[in-house]
Structure 1
Amino acid sequence: MNNAAPAQLTFRAVVLAIVLAVVLSAANAYLGLFAGLTIATAIPAAVVSMGVLRLLGGGTILENNIVQTGASAGSSIAAGVIFTIPALVIMGYWPDFKYWWVLGIAGLGGLLGVLFSVPLRRSMIVEDPLPFPEGKAAAEVLKAGENPGPGMKILGISAAIGGLVKLAAASGLRIFPDAWAQSAYVGSSKVTAFIGTNLSPALLGVGYIVGLNVGIVVLSGAILSWHIAIPLYQAFFLSGNPDLAASLASASSSDAAFAIWGSQIRYLGVGAMLIGGVWTLFSLRKSLLNGVKSGFAAARKSSGPALAETERDLPMKWMLIALIAFTLPLLGLYQAIVGQWHVSIPMTIIMIVAGFLFVSVSAYLAGLIGSSNNPVSGITISTILFASVVLVLLLGKDGLTPVGIGGAPLGAVAAIMIGAVVCCAAAVGGDNLQDLKAGYLVGATPWKQQLMLGIGAFSCALIMAPVLNLLAHAYGIGAPTAEHPNSLAAPQANLMASVARGLFGGELPWTMIALGAGVGAAIIAIDEWLKKTGKRFRVPVLAAAIGIYLPLELMVPIFLGGLLAHLVERFHKLRADDEEGRDRVHRPGVLFAAGLITGEALMGIAIAVPIVVSGQGDVLALPLGGFAETWATLSAWVGLFVLFLVGLLMYRIGKKGEPAAKS
């Protein structure tokens, strides 16, 4: 009888994991810059792994688990990078994304995230287990992997749909625009009434994955911004800003709304994010302390008697050696920026301490609400705020010294660098614990998963700079310009740049930020009341802040996707507390949504290549000749109809989900 352990860390599993990690990280980079959100990729990666390994002769459940572990690094590294590093270009420190710097920040930050999360596994997964909903869902997919064919088919079809719609839109063939919108001035005070939606299937998919609760919250934040705050500002406060009022004197209603939002109202979202990040840390203070204590206690236990394979983590001795080895290059990186050892050494210490603390926070939040809803941006804001205060004390007036081609303040650049490393570490740390939960449920070896995640994270870091440069040259990143009127918004990176510059002499609308902090505090109070009264519906402050900070048209399809997910639940008559049934029902819909996101994002990257090579944004546009003017009036409605068809297909596939078992 053969009692050999099932294969896990095989060559083919490692190669497949790296390929999927690179592809999914590129897709998530595009999605994050476009919509300010990334999605967890473990479940799509698990389905693809099961299909590919079956074609290669069949794979074990533990091989498939290794593949989804490495591949899931694609979402975490992408989030860590696009939330922070574009701020260095937005501030004018870099003209473009420097390959070795991006690799150093993302690669070392990701590896630190793996190391910092290892001591937390036993406390959060074994001794005092947290739910880790996405890890549990990934384990269920792996266990049900006897027939991956239907899942592969759904992923393939939806990826093709997402890619074709993106190709047909404004960046490609220009058959229809990226958004449908209507606006008009109303009333004697000429306030703007604005409605609209982006026509992206990927955003519809994001909404299906995050669900109706988050969809309602982000749309409510956008309504607060666009239907309440902007009209109020136009009616009562625009006259107090004569420069802005003069620039809007002959503007269209839509241009006026976007100008007021861009210069004033979106900073309500900044204030809400700031208070949300601080609240996240404060509310988790006890859990954080307990998690760190139990993590070190578990690490001491692991050096004792021989453990079973399913309990073996990476050895603590080698982890400490690796920590030192990874920290020294970061010290050199900070020294290269500030040129002062009495500053670069404290910067490195802040990074190490904040990294470990926030990896613990990220892991805890991933255990409660999943990696997709993990407020890594709030964690990063807190890091940048704390680092900025320390740097102000250390650098003084030297912190205002302009550096880089655009003259960004030295202190702001240094704070962003710290935040970038911590953000990558926190994103990877939360993802690592999610994968380790799935591995725990299927009987995997922890150290092999931890090693695979490190390989996957570093592989993703290798391609981040080229992908970012390609997207920046083709679409633009940050504020719209004449060359790139529909640039990728990069909302978190813009926020990080604004906060860092504001603390080092930059001009910010502090009144709006203070009002936003008040709005955030009110949202937190409402959410705490909902929590105490046992309500299922919650109001996460960072989700609301994202809604305030981003254009309304991006939030509408996210809400619609969440509504479709809710209608699927209603069709299957799920109980409100039936999480297991909900996972089974939504699996086909989640795969369809993930395919839409991946297909659209990869097509967006593919379209960027001919745009960059030719230097023409309309290189792929269809020649419509004399029909162009007529088509321009109809095209947005065609795009709206296409989005409706995609949503209808998503609902029909969701209805075919496996119904929950009746009790």
Structure 2
Amino acid sequence: IFRNYVRHIGIGGIAMAGIIGIIKSSKIIGGAFALAFGSIFGGKKGKSDDQLRTDKDIKITFNVFLILLTAIAIFIFFLTGLNITAWQAIVAFLTVFIIAFLFTSVAANAIAIVGTNPVSGMTLMTLILSSFILTSVGLQGESGMLAAIVIGGVVCTALSMSGGFITDLKIGYWLGSTPVKQQSWKFLGTLVSAATVGLVIYILNDTYGFVKTDLTPDPMIAPQANAMAAVIQPLMSPGAHVNWMLYIVGAVIAILVNWLGISPLAFALGMYLPLELNSPLLLGGIISYFIKKSSKDEALVKARDQRGTLIASGFIAGAAIFGVLGALLKFTLKSMNISDIRMATWPETWGAEVLSIVMFSLLMVYMVWHIFKAKAEE
């Protein structure tokens, strides 16, 4: 039932949640576009000698040079890395370049004004738009889906980078930092993080995989990536069976949930995610609910809620770190042809189930105990 019905309803809800997010941010998006075009065609001019230290940025010529290098690299990848024609590569390149250029200003402005970055919604819109554009030039099937995913990945990365860096600049402004130095070191941080993330993804894919195959019978869930792939697959696959009715049901549910004041994206992801990922979220939400009702002192409740958020964030970071370390260990054993350690059947035994329940319960008890140690700020 989950695989054939509920999951598809969740996909429809995720798609509609992205559209709702874009609609809600329409004023911010319009203002960001106006600001972007105004800065491009209006052209602020001034002597750098008259600028304050806290107003100095990297020279625009250097930025343009790096943008051109990046654009050339993306075009070469489309032309040589995918099995598409030169015309299709040009269309794909223009699509990713224009959407990324426009949407990054939206993400930066959204972070600056409201403190949230609608990455999921704009990435989903990018995938849908790119799917229609690529289909119109005859690019379908696996090549079309790969091109659309690459476009979505580039735009998603650009959105995340721009939103995150605006946050850095805001903090730097409050601390009195020099923007040009922040921008210069950001390039180094980007190179290091790109290399690190690429290596981690390679290890995870080689060890666990992200799609169920004979070599990877128990892959990682990767919910958002698989959800977005499921959205564009029917758009790019000619003759594919599409559960439009279930998608429509999910879209309607997302609209109704939004009217009730609940986040449609979180609700739709809850329908899409399997039970093993939903259970911790459900229990964490229950704990959060009772913590907020634990006292009539608003300051104390706020302190407890903030401590709970910090502990939960630590759990997430710790799980990610140990997941990567486990994958690295498994990858090392695999590369050394060591297969004596067989733990594939261990999670299915009753001992593993009892141990997991006990440890999970201890984590919840520790979390509640530590939350109640929080004190209201005077």
TM-score, normalised by the number of residues in structure 2: 0.84
Structure 1 counterpart of 2:176, from 431, 436, 443: 443
With over 3 angstroms needed to count, the CA separation of the structure-2 counterparts of 1:466 and 1:494, relative to structure 1, is same
| Residues in 2 aligned to 1:648 and 1:417: alpha-carbon distance in whole angstroms | 43
Asked if 1:325 corresponds to 2:49, the answer is: no
| Residues in 2 aligned to 1:566 and 1:494: alpha-carbon distance in whole angstroms | 30
2:276 corresponds in structure 1 to 553
1:424-472: CA deviation from partner (whole Å, max 9, x where unpaired): 1111111111222222222222222223233222222223343223212
Q: Is the 8 A contact 1:474 1:608 kept in 2?
A: yes
1:652 counterpart letter in structure 2:
W
Larger relative contact order (CA 8 Å, sep ≥ 6):
1
Asked if 1:497 corresponds to 2:229, the answer is: yes
1:233-261: CA deviation from partner (whole Å, max 9, x where unpaired): xxxxxxxxxxxxxxxxxxxxxxxxxxx32
1:93 corresponds in structure 2 to none
What displacement does 1:389 show? 0.9
1:312-342: CA deviation from partner (whole Å, max 9, x where unpaired): 2333332222222211111122222254333
Aligned pairs (5 A) from 1:111-190: none
2:126 counterpart letter in structure 1:
T
Asked if 1:390 corresponds to 2:139, the answer is: no
| Residues in 2 aligned to 1:574 and 1:321: alpha-carbon distance in whole angstroms | 56
2:363 corresponds in structure 1 to 646
Structure 2 counterpart of 1:607, from 325, 329, 341: 329
| Residues in 1 aligned to 2:366 and 2:5: alpha-carbon distance in whole angstroms | 39
Q: Is the 8 A contact 2:292 2:305 kept in 1?
A: no
2:318 corresponds in structure 1 to 596
1:223 corresponds in structure 2 to none
SS at 1:328 equivalent? helix
With over 3 angstroms needed to count, the CA separation of the structure-2 counterparts of 1:635 and 1:394, relative to structure 1, is closer
| Residues in 2 aligned to 1:477 and 1:587: alpha-carbon distance in whole angstroms | 29
Aligned pairs (5 A) from 1:433-512: 433-479=166-212, 481=213, 483-504=215-236, 505=238, 506-512=240-246
| Residues in 1 aligned to 2:204 and 2:32: alpha-carbon distance in whole angstroms | 39
Aligned pairs (5 A) from 1:621-632: 621=343, 632=349
What displacement does 1:356 show? 2.5
2:284 counterpart letter in structure 1:
G
Q: Is the 8 A contact 2:288 2:305 kept in 1?
A: no
| Residues in 2 aligned to 1:499 and 1:575: alpha-carbon distance in whole angstroms | 42
SS at 2:137 equivalent? helix
With over 3 angstroms needed to count, the CA separation of the structure-2 counterparts of 1:621 and 1:601, relative to structure 1, is closer
| Residues in 1 aligned to 2:352 and 2:312: alpha-carbon distance in whole angstroms | 29
| Residues in 1 aligned to 2:278 and 2:90: alpha-carbon distance in whole angstroms | 42
Aligned pairs (5 A) from 1:423-438: 423-438=156-171
| Residues in 2 aligned to 1:439 and 1:524: alpha-carbon distance in whole angstroms | 35
What displacement does 1:571 show? 5.8
1:169 corresponds in structure 2 to none
What displacement does 1:554 show? 0.8
| Residues in 2 aligned to 1:317 and 1:496: alpha-carbon distance in whole angstroms | 36
Q: Is the 8 A contact 1:310 1:443 kept in 2?
A: yes
What displacement does 1:282 show? 2.4
1:351-396: CA deviation from partner (whole Å, max 9, x where unpaired): 122112322333344457756xx4423321210110111112122x
1:278 counterpart letter in structure 2:
I
| Residues in 1 aligned to 2:169 and 2:283: alpha-carbon distance in whole angstroms | 32
With over 3 angstroms needed to count, the CA separation of the structure-2 counterparts of 1:272 and 1:588, relative to structure 1, is closer
Q: CA RMSD in A?
A: 3.3
What displacement does 1:546 show? 1.0
TM-score, normalised by the number of residues in structure 1: 0.50
With over 3 angstroms needed to count, the CA separation of the structure-2 counterparts of 1:563 and 1:342, relative to structure 1, is same
2:75 counterpart letter in structure 1:
L
Q: Is the 8 A contact 1:582 1:660 kept in 2?
A: no
| Residues in 1 aligned to 2:149 and 2:242: alpha-carbon distance in whole angstroms | 17
Q: Is the 8 A contact 2:291 2:304 kept in 1?
A: no
2:372 corresponds in structure 1 to 655
1:418 counterpart letter in structure 2:
I
Q: Is the 8 A contact 2:223 2:273 kept in 1?
A: yes
| Residues in 2 aligned to 1:540 and 1:413: alpha-carbon distance in whole angstroms | 30
Asked if 1:381 corresponds to 2:104, the answer is: no
| Residues in 2 aligned to 1:587 and 1:410: alpha-carbon distance in whole angstroms | 42
1:360 counterpart letter in structure 2:
S
Q: Is the 8 A contact 2:13 2:250 kept in 1?
A: yes
With over 3 angstroms needed to count, the CA separation of the structure-2 counterparts of 1:342 and 1:591, relative to structure 1, is closer
Aligned pairs (5 A) from 1:322-401: 322-336=66-80, 337=82, 339-367=84-112, 374-395=117-138, 399-400=139-140
Q: Is the 8 A contact 1:273 1:545 kept in 2?
A: yes
Q: Is the 8 A contact 1:375 1:542 kept in 2?
A: no
SS at 1:409 equivalent? helix
With over 3 angstroms needed to count, the CA separation of the structure-2 counterparts of 1:364 and 1:565, relative to structure 1, is farther
Stretch of structure 1 that moved more, 555-564 or 633-642: 555-564
With over 3 angstroms needed to count, the CA separation of the structure-2 counterparts of 1:384 and 1:613, relative to structure 1, is same
Q: Tell me, which stretches of 5 or more residues in structure 2 are unaligned?
A: none
Q: Is the 8 A contact 1:475 1:608 kept in 2?
A: no
Query: Aligned pairs, how many?
Result: 372
With over 3 angstroms needed to count, the CA separation of the structure-2 counterparts of 1:569 and 1:417, relative to structure 1, is same
| Residues in 2 aligned to 1:269 and 1:618: alpha-carbon distance in whole angstroms | 41
| Residues in 2 aligned to 1:657 and 1:591: alpha-carbon distance in whole angstroms | 16
With over 3 angstroms needed to count, the CA separation of the structure-2 counterparts of 1:286 and 1:262, relative to structure 1, is same
1:562-604: CA deviation from partner (whole Å, max 9, x where unpaired): 444555556676528997x578645863664355334433433
Structure 1 counterpart of 2:5, from 264, 272, 279: 264
With over 3 angstroms needed to count, the CA separation of the structure-2 counterparts of 1:622 and 1:425, relative to structure 1, is closer
1:522 corresponds in structure 2 to 256
Aligned pairs (5 A) from 1:92-103: none
1:349 counterpart letter in structure 2:
L
What displacement does 1:642 show? 0.7
Q: Is the 8 A contact 1:272 1:542 kept in 2?
A: yes
| Residues in 2 aligned to 1:307 and 1:391: alpha-carbon distance in whole angstroms | 45
Q: Tell me, which stretches of 5 or more residues in structure 1 are unaligned?
A: 1-259, 401-407, 528-538
| Residues in 2 aligned to 1:335 and 1:351: alpha-carbon distance in whole angstroms | 14
What displacement does 1:557 show? 0.8
| Residues in 2 aligned to 1:526 and 1:610: alpha-carbon distance in whole angstroms | 49
SS at 2:57 equivalent? coil
2:146 counterpart letter in structure 1:
V
Stretch of structure 1 that moved more, 412-421 or 300-309: 300-309
